[in-house]
Amino acid sequence: MSIVRRKTIFGTNRAPRFLRIFRRNAEASHSQGNRVKLFGSGAEFFPAMLEAFAEARHHIHAEFYIVRNDATGAAFAEALLVAASRGVDVSLIYDYIGCFDTPSSYFRRLEQGGVRCLAFNPPPFKRGIAWFDKRDHRKMAVIDGETAFTGGVNVGNEYSGFWSAAERWRDVGVRIDGPAVSDLSRLFREFWLEEKGSPSPAWFLEHAPMAGMGDAEVMIVSDGPHHTRSFIRNAFRIAMAGAGESIRIMNPYFVPGPRVVRSLLRAARRGVRVQLILPAKNDVPIVRLVSRTYYTPLLRAGIEIYERQGPVLHAKVMLIDDTWGVVGSANLDQRSFHRNFEVNTIVASHEFGRQVAEMFVEDLRGSRRIFLAEHESRGWHVRLLERVCESVSWFL
């Protein structure tokens, strides 16, 4: 396939064969007629989500890796309790390990107020001790089966922006209205039934959201440790393979492994401009050391690497040819590929792509470019530490 032809894949007339390959290898659901809104920060995402909770008519599904007992967590709990008090069926899934610091009284209060709560994989780890390493890393909320919020944003002050500017994390989320919401609702319910086995009568009262809400095609890619291959990784790689002009990636935990690296190198060799924004500082410092072991081959191939300064980067975004935007919970690391339950939203829309591209340019302004000569001049002790840390990259 020539570069000229590749440039049309992510345009208005995307190649049907490419879409079939993508959907088959990523097990992606697909729908048209969606409206998708980008939230460039948690400070935009949370008020919109809580407002939607206040307008819920019959049910709310919420699933978050982390729910903190702080100001953001209090506002989140209050919104769920108020909805439950007026008869809305409210269900919450949270990851036990992710919420390890959240007191059990937080969830007891929710349950006493009518919110059904489900902890994923609590002790004694019913699937065995190896399951201790698995996480429900998804972040999403579905309201009445018609509106959904998803992305990389957890429930906590650092994500919502309730803290001072210096302590806010850089994150991204989306709101979806339209038929794609049914796919997220189905994903939540299947997981709930698998873990708890108790459906709610309210689930059967809704009407499927209508198409025609907007012009966006949306694909939902979900993954989990129960799969024999990584659909999340396949989705990243196939999208990279379809790029004809540009690949822009923003990701906080960059431990991609050789297959994703090869996909990036192939794109660069065929003339695609590849730009990566990675964190200058990381909440898991060992990840930054391991990430830097991948820099040399990427930089030699002409791939642009930037390290974002300022607040901790937590946004997980990829943009292909300024038309396909990927926003979700998955990192470019082995944990997201193989050991976490994840969900990514892929949006095919020129307008949405424009919004993501503008956001990316703004983030570049707050980032410092890394050059090959500078990277290779780092001391031997740093190189040694990187290699030592690389040996545990599978567990990151």
Q: How far is CA 307 from CA 42, 134, 218, 323, 393, in A?
A: 20, 29, 30, 24, 20
Question: Regarding the domain delimited by 1-32+213-396, which CATH topology (the fold level of the hierarchy) does it fall under?
Answer: Endonuclease; Chain A (3.30.870)
223 is catalytic: no
pLDDT at 163: 66
Would you state the pLDDT for residue 8?
47
Q: Out of 59, 134, 316, 338, pick the active-site residue.
A: 316
Active-site position among 61, 134, 314, 338: 314
Q: What's the confidence (pLDDT) of residue 5? A: 43
| pLDDT tens-place values along the chain, 396 residues long | 334 444 545 554 455 677 778 888 888 899 999 999 999 999 999 999 999 999 999 999 999 999 999 999 999 999 999 999 999 999 999 999 999 999 999 999 999 999 999 999 888 766 676 777 889 999 999 999 999 999 999 999 999 977 665 567 999 999 999 999 999 999 999 999 998 878 888 787 766 777 778 899 999 999 988 777 899 999 999 999 999 999 999 999 999 999 999 999 999 999 999 999 999 988 887 888 888 889 999 999 999 999 999 889 999 999 999 999 999 999 999 999 999 999 999 999 999 999 999 999 999 999 999 999 988 877 666 666 656 556 555 555
Catalytic residue among 139, 171, 177, 223: 139
Domain boundaries, the chain: 1-32+213-396, 41-171+179-212
95, 136, 144, 322: the active-site residue: 144
Architecture category of domain 41-171+179-212 in CATH: 2-Layer Sandwich (3.30)
Q: How far apart are CA 79 and CA 117, in angstroms?
A: 15
pLDDT for 377 equals: 78
137: annotated active-site residue = yes
Annotated active-site residue in 321, 322, 333, 363: 321
**Is-catalytic flag, 321?**
yes
Q: Catalytic: which of 137, 171, 183, 363? A: 137
- 75 C-beta neighbours (distance < 10 Å), count: 16
Can you read off the two tokens belonging to residue 114?
């009518």
Is 338 one of the annotated active-site residues of the chain?
no
> What stretch of H or E contains 178?
none
Please state whether the predicted TM-score (pTM) of the whole model is above 0.85.
Answer: yes
Q: Do domains 1-32+213-396 and 41-171+179-212 have the same CATH topology?
A: yes
pLDDT value at residue 161: 79
- 350 labelled catalytic: no
Q: Is 316 a catalytic residue?
A: yes
Q: Smallest Cα–Cα separation from 291: which of 367, 382, 191? A: 382
